């Protein structure tokens, strides 16, 4: 049992980096720009192109803030002896930004960057993220899902709320991060049934939606229900078309999280298939792929040695070390 758990934890962490790096070259491209930059589509880890939306020149296998923040959450949990604490994570984030100013300017999400500026200006911790509705917490919540058990809803959502507090302290962002954490937790604990995964996501979203600053807008639970029905009744090409042209796959949590579950389901839990589907759909490809492949990596953790080595070399990552740090604290 422990060997299986270890494999799933490691697979979730590798999956995060794999999806992030796979989606990086097409991040925030329109359909037209994506087709110009990659006429044959993105089928493997690619470097950023000359048409990169952000003007980056990243080599193949390079991750963005999705993985970097996930690593910081891992470190905060380990330093906290299995508990996630807001101030500890915030200190780690500030130190990383200070040491990597140029890179941080290229990869930090809008809500996180805005909240850090507000905190620097003396805005109270519980107010800095009160307008943060984007996917910056959903993208980094994986380690909380690894450590906390989805069957203990209150404890898991409490930890998610602490993560969201400084940057994404809104009902929709907490709901989205809780849904992702629940799905990761479900997969790490051996869950492979997609219907059950959608149920976990909806339950967690509804629990998380009651937390944080309440803003008007679409309900994530309803978006999840709509996407679930679409995935179950429509052909995959039609699902992708609706995500791309109607529902959206942008920075907003209400777009990101339903798209994540769609990619996991359409990819049948396979990290590579989910990454390919996501990278070739116009939108926030790196974040959606990072989250989807975290879930898929826990379900199917057998990544090739070649892919693991490339990701570790390109980014200075140590998947074994990260997994070993978290394992003693898995509930």
**Binding site residue list for Mg(2+):** 64-66, 284, 286-287
What are the CA-CA distances from residue 90 to residues 72, 75, 148, 165, 274 (Å)?
Answer: 9, 11, 20, 10, 31
Q: How far apart are the first and last CA of the chain?
A: 14
Between CA 121 and CA 254, with CA 138 as vertex, the angle to 5 degrees is 100
CB 203 within 8 Å of CB 182:
yes
HSE-up of residue 53 (Cα within 13 Å, Cβ side): 18
Q: Which of 28, 20, 21, 16 is nearest to 284 (CA)?
A: 28
Q: Can you say which residues are annotated as belonging to the binding site?
A: 64-66, 284, 286-287
Q: Which of 184, 191, 201 is nearest to 143 (CA)?
A: 184
Give the phi and the psi of residue 215 in degrees, each rounded to 5: -120, 150
Cα–Cα distance measured from residue 43 to residue 22, given in angstroms and rounded to the nearest whole number: 9
Cα–Cα distance measured from residue 175 to residue 16, given in angstroms and rounded to the nearest whole number: 20
What are the CA-CA distances from residue 247 to residues 28, 128, 137, 218, 270 (Å)?
Answer: 15, 28, 20, 12, 23
């Amino acid at each position: 049992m422990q060997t299986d758990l270890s494999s799933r934890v490691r697979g979730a962490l590798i999956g995060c980096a794999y999806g992030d790096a796979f989606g990086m070259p097409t991040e925030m491209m329109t359909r037209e720009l994506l087709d110009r930059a990659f006429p044959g589509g993105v089928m493997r880890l690619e470097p950023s192109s000359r048409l990169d939306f952000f003007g980056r020149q990243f080599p193949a296998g390079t991750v963005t803030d999705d993985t970097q923040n996930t690593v910081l959450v891992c470190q905060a949990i380990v330093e906290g002896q299995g508990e996630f604490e807001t101030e500890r994570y915030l200190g780690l984030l500030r130190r990383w930004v200070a040491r990597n100013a140029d890179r941080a300017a290229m990869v930090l999400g809008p809500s996180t960057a805005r909240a850090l500026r507000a905190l620097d200006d003396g805005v109270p911790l519980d107010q800095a993220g009160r307008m943060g509705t984007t996917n910056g917490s959903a993208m980094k919540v994986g380690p909380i899902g690894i450590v906390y058990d989805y069957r203990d809803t209150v404890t898991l959502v409490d930890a998610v709320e602490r993560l969201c507090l400084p940057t994404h302290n809104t009902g929709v962002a907490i709901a989205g991060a809780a849904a992702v954490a629940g799905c990761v937790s479900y997969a790490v604990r051996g869950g492979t049934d997609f219907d059950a995964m959608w149920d976990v996501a909806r339950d967690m979203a509804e629990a998380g939606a009651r937390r944080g600053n309440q803003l008007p807008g679409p309900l994530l639970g309803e978006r999840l229900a709509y996407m679930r029905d679409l995935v179950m009744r429509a052909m995959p090409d039609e699902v992708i078309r609706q995500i791309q042209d109607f529902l959206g796959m942008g920075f907003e949590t209400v777009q990101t999280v339903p798209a994540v579950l769609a990619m996991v389901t359409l990819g049948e839990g396979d990290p590579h298939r989910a990454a390919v589907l996501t990278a070739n759909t116009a939108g926030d490809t790196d974040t959606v792929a990072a989250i989807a492949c975290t879930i898929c990596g826990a379900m199917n953790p057998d990544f090739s040695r070649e892919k693991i080595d490339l990701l570790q070399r390109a980014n200075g990552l140590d998947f074994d070390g990260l997994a070993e740090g978290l394992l003693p604290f898995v509930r």
